[in-house]
């Protein structure tokens, strides 16, 4: 009898090794995708912070009370109608300081990318802009603020990462 070049035992061992590699690789692949999406949420948070600081520079040190608040609303002598975003998701209006098309919710493009206020719902991928007056009270749309906080939500869990102009 001729001896087979590959035995059944060798095939089973090879399949076991391949299966073990797949079991290790798939969870790492999934978590790496989540980490990339969370990094994009943090990038969106930095974009909002840059827009808020740009707004403040044009509005003589006043920050917007919300994402649709215009410079003219917080500093009436200036007739500029720029705002941070003007909408919760792209496309943003032409007067928005974040007009990049890439700014969107990384987890789901039809979810809001940015909202006003504190984190109330845990919409994954959303960035929350919350503004306060000098006494620490939350201010609303159309009002001037002196302090802001920007927080984001990862995969349904608020990120520990927070951006603010507070000096602590």
Are the beta carbons of 93 and 100 closer than 8 angstroms? no
Rounded distance, CA 31 to CA 13, Å?
28
Q: Record the tokens describing residue 32, joined without a space.
A: 């790496």
Q: Kindly tell me the burial class for residue 153, based on how many C-beta atoms sit within 10 Å of its own C-beta (0-12, 13-18, 19 or more).
A: buried
Rounded distance, CA 81 to CA 141, Å?
14
Q: According to the model, what pLDDT value does residue 107 have? A: 92
Q: According to the model, what pLDDT value does residue 1 have? A: 60
Q: According to the model, what pLDDT value does residue 128 have? A: 95
Q: Which of 52, 56, 63, 51 is nearest to 144 (CA)?
A: 63
pLDDT tens for each residue of the chain, 168 residues long:
667 788 888 899 999 999 999 888 888 888 888 899 999 999 999 999 999 999 999 999 999 999 999 999 998 988 889 999 988 988 888 889 987 667 899 999 888 999 998 887 778 999 999 999 999 999 999 999 999 999 999 988 899 888 998 876
């Amino acid at each position: 009898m001729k001896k087979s070049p590959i035995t059944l035992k060798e095939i089973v061992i090879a399949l076991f090794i391949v299966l073990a590699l797949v079991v290790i690789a798939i969870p790492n692949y999934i978590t790496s995708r989540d980490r990339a999406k969370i990094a994009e949420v943090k990038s969106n948070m930095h974009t909002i912070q840059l827009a808020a600081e740009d707004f403040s520079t044009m509005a003589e040190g006043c920050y917007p009370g919300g994402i649709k608040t215009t410079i003219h609303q917080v500093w009436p002598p200036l007739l500029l109608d720029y705002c941070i975003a003007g909408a919760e998701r792209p496309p943003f209006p032409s007067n928005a300081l974040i007009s990049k098309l890439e700014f969107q919710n990384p987890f789901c493009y039809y979810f809001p990318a940015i909202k006003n206020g504190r984190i109330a719902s845990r919409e994954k991928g959303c960035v929350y802009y919350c503004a306060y007056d000098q006494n620490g009270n939350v201010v609303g749309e159309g009002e001037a603020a002196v302090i802001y906080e920007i927080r984001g939500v990862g995969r349904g869990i608020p990120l520990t990462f927070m951006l603010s102009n507070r000096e602590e």
